[in-house]
Structure 1
Amino acid sequence: MSKVVGILKGKCPNCKKGDVFETKGNIFLLRMPKMNERCKTCNLKFEKETGFFFGAMFVSYALAVAEMIASLILFWLLMDLSPLIVFVIFTVIAFITSTFNFRLSRTIWIYLFN
């Protein structure tokens, strides 16, 4: 359970104290999260090699698909909204959750390989 909490809080997988990200980012201000190169507590290097976070894109894709499926079930099947309105809702949800998915997918990827 501590791994799940560490992932959600964005903590270092080694010491569980240092932050993986320096800033959280803000999609409305068009700022992406800034990642620390190393843990400030235990000095763990987060990017193991060049291109290490390429695989995090697949995790981000899986998160986005899960969000869209949940939205589809909620808005189209349960609330019976039109497909156009559901598409607009999908677009807004994808925009709003993009920085969260970026942080979460990279943190999950670091935890997988540490």
Structure 2
Amino acid sequence: MSMILNIFRGRCPHCEKGRIFEKLGNPFLFQMPKMKQKCDVCGHSFEREPGFFFGAMFVSYAVAVPQMVVLLLACKALGLENIPIIIIVIIAFILLSTTNFRLSRTIWMYIFRNV
């Protein structure tokens, strides 16, 4: 259970104490999250090799699709029409983009933390 909490908190996969991201990003100001190169606590390098986070795109997709499906079903349950639903889903996707970016990279690092 602590591993799941550490993923959501953005903690180092090696020591589980240091923070992975310097800046969390802000979708309203069009700022993406900024990762640290190494953990401040244990010195663990977050990017193992060039292109390491390429696979995190697939994790991001796996995180975003269920979010959008749940939102779509909630809007349908409220009886909204299709055009407002599409607008709501697009706005939610944009607002959750920085959170999904951080979450997908953190999950990707935790998948390969013992490799």
C-alpha distance in 1 between matches for 2:110 and 2:91: 29
Matches within 5 A, 1:56-71: 56-71=56-71
| Counterpart for residue 14 of structure 1 | 14
Provide structure 1 residue ranges, at least 5 long, that are not aligned to the other structure. Answer: none
Amino acid of the structure 2 residue aligned with 1:18: G
| Counterpart for residue 5 of structure 1 | 5
Tell me the matched-pair count: 113
Structure 1 runs (4+) deviating above 4 angstroms are none
Matches within 5 A, 1:47-86: 47-76=47-76, 78-86=77-85
- The normalised TM-score by structure 2 is 0.96
Q: Offset at 1:112?
A: 0.3
Residue by residue over 1:19-50, the C-alpha shift from the partner in whole angstroms, topping out at 9 and shown as x without a partner, is 00011011111110100011010000111111
Q: Offset at 1:72?
A: 1.2
Amino acid of the structure 2 residue aligned with 1:53: F
| Counterpart for residue 113 of structure 1 | 112
C-alpha distance in 1 between matches for 2:84 and 2:64: 18
- The normalised TM-score by structure 1 is 0.97
Give the aligned CA root-mean-square deviation in angstroms. Answer: 0.6
Query: SS in structure 2 opposite 1:19?
Result: coil
C-alpha distance in 1 between matches for 2:68 and 2:25: 22
C-alpha distance in 1 between matches for 2:79 and 2:112: 42
C-alpha distance in 2 between matches for 1:30 and 1:72: 25
C-alpha distance in 2 between matches for 1:80 and 1:30: 32
Amino acid of the structure 1 residue aligned with 2:84: I
Q: Percent identity?
A: 49
Amino acid of the structure 1 residue aligned with 2:78: M
Provide structure 2 residue ranges, at least 5 long, that are not aligned to the other structure. Answer: none
Query: SS in structure 1 opposite 2:22?
Result: strand
